[in-house]
């Protein structure tokens, strides 16, 4: 089934490539005008046409197969599968005031042939039940961990990406979230520091009240439920 899907994807690229070429008066082919641009690490890059020769098609097919095959980073994510609990998650609404505390549960599973880590998180926030769902993967093209997060405390989708630092055993993720108070997107950052196979500390940071400095708004140490 996967092989058929990848073949269809490759075929779609080839059809698009052929449609983007036109005949010249001499019977030769030349690319159509206009370049498609994409953003990557702050720089723009031209998207090349899909290959039409057999060797290029085979190389592209292999690239898609490799892209869909879990690697060591996915195996690392799979180690966190299980149920994690924290008796006292600290939450700061106002950094000048003491944090509130709440219990939290995080259920982690792997999905889609081990490519994605699914997180179902539950706690209370501002006295109300809070439920969140996260999907994290390792993008083998970007060579980064990528995360999407939704919860019942808002209608936006949080997007983060980052890397794992082996020396500090910390997964550092950063990105953007919708800020309804400011009516714009603001920065968000997450640190997952792994102490051992059975415990980790989660720390969440965001744009502070002054709009300039960073503020910690959540932190808790989770332990694997036996």
pLDDT digits (tens, 9 = 90+) for 139-151: 999 999 999 999 9
List C-alpha distances in Å: 144 to 114, 147, 160, 177, 206: 16, 10, 10, 19, 21
**Helices 2-19 and 54-67, packing angle to 10 deg:** 130
Task: Return the pLDDT at 7.
Answer: 43
Which of 69, 95, 117 delimits the end of a domain? 69
Cα–Cα distance between 100 and 109 in angstroms, integer?
29
User: 65 with 107, same domain?
Assistant: no
Model pLDDT, residue 39: 53
Q: Can you give the pTM of this predicted structure?
A: 0.81
Residues 35 and 130 placed together within one structural domain of the fold: no
pLDDT, mean of residues 98-109 = 97
Cβ(123)–Cβ(139) under 8 Å?
A: no
Poorest-pLDDT segment among 36-45, 48-57, 126-135, 194-203: 36-45
* CA dist., res. 113 & res. 73, Å (int): 14
11 pLDDT tier (thresholds 50, 70, 90): very low
Which of 48, 69, 90 is where one domain is finished? 69
Which CATH number characterizes residue 175's domain? 2.40.128.20
Residues 100 and 192 in one domain: yes
First-residue to last-residue Cα distance in the chain: 36
- 61 vs 13, 19, 26, 49, 138, CA distance in Å? 11, 20, 33, 15, 20
DSSP per residue over 144-167, as a string?
EEEEEEEETT-S--EEEEEEEETT
Residue-level pLDDT at 43: 66
Average pLDDT over residues 165-169: 97
Higher pLDDT, 96 or 24: 96
67 vs 35: which has the higher pLDDT: 67
Report whether 81 contacts 110 (CB < 8 A): yes
Task: Indicate the residue among 43, 69, 95 that finishes a domain.
Answer: 69
Considering the domain architecture, whether residues 190 and 123 belong to the same structural domain is answered as: yes
- Quote the domain boundaries for residue 88: 73-224
Using CA atoms, how far residue 7 sits from 64, 130, 160, in Å, is: 9, 42, 30
Closest CA to 173 of 162, 164, 182, 165: 162
Q: Is-contact 157 172, C-beta < 8 A?
A: no
Do 132 and 59 fall within a single domain? no
> pLDDT at residue 209 above 50?
yes
Distance CA 176, CA 2 (A): 33
Number of separate domains in the chain: 2
136 and 202 belong to one structural domain? yes
Which of the four pLDDT bands, split at 50, 70 and 90, describes residue 14? Answer: very low
Mean pLDDT of 110-119: 98
Instruction: State whether 206 and 94 are in the same domain.
Output: yes
pLDDT recorded at residue 140: 98
Mean pLDDT of 72-99: 95
How far is it, in rounded angstroms, from Cα 89 to Cα 103?
6
| Minimum mean pLDDT range among 42-46, 124-128, 186-190 | 42-46
| Residue 209 near residue 215 (C-beta atoms within 8 A) | yes
Same structural domain, 186 and 79: yes
45, pLDDT greater than 90:
no
Instruction: Give pLDDT, residue 4.
Output: 45
């Amino acid at each position: 089934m996967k092989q058929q899907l990848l073949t269809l994807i490759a075929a779609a690229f080839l059809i698009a490539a052929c449609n983007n070429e036109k005949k010249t008066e001499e019977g030769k082919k030349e690319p159509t005008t206009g370049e498609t641009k994409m953003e990557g690490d702050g720089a723009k890059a031209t998207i090349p046409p899909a290959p039409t020769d057999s060797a290029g098609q085979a190389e592209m097919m292999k690239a898609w197969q490799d892209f869909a095959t879990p690697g060591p980073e996915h195996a690392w994510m799979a180690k966190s599968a299980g149920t994690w609990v924290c008796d006292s998650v600290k939450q700061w609404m106002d950094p000048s005031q003491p944090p509130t505390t709440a219990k939290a549960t995080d259920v982690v599973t792997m999905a889609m042939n081990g490519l994605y880590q699914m997180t179902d998180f539950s706690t209370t926030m501002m006295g109300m039940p809070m439920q969140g769902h996260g999907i994290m993967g390792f993008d083998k093209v970007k060579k980064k961990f990528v995360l999407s997060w939704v919860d019942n405390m808002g209608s936006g989708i949080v997007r983060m990406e980052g890397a794992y630092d082996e020396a500090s055993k910390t997964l550092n993720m950063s990105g953007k979230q919708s800020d309804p108070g400011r009516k714009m997107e603001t920065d968000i950052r997450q640190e997952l520091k792994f102490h051992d196979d059975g415990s980790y500390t989660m720390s969440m940071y965001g744009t502070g009240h002054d709009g300039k400095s960073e503020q910690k708004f959540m932190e808790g140490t989770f332990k694997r439920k036996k």
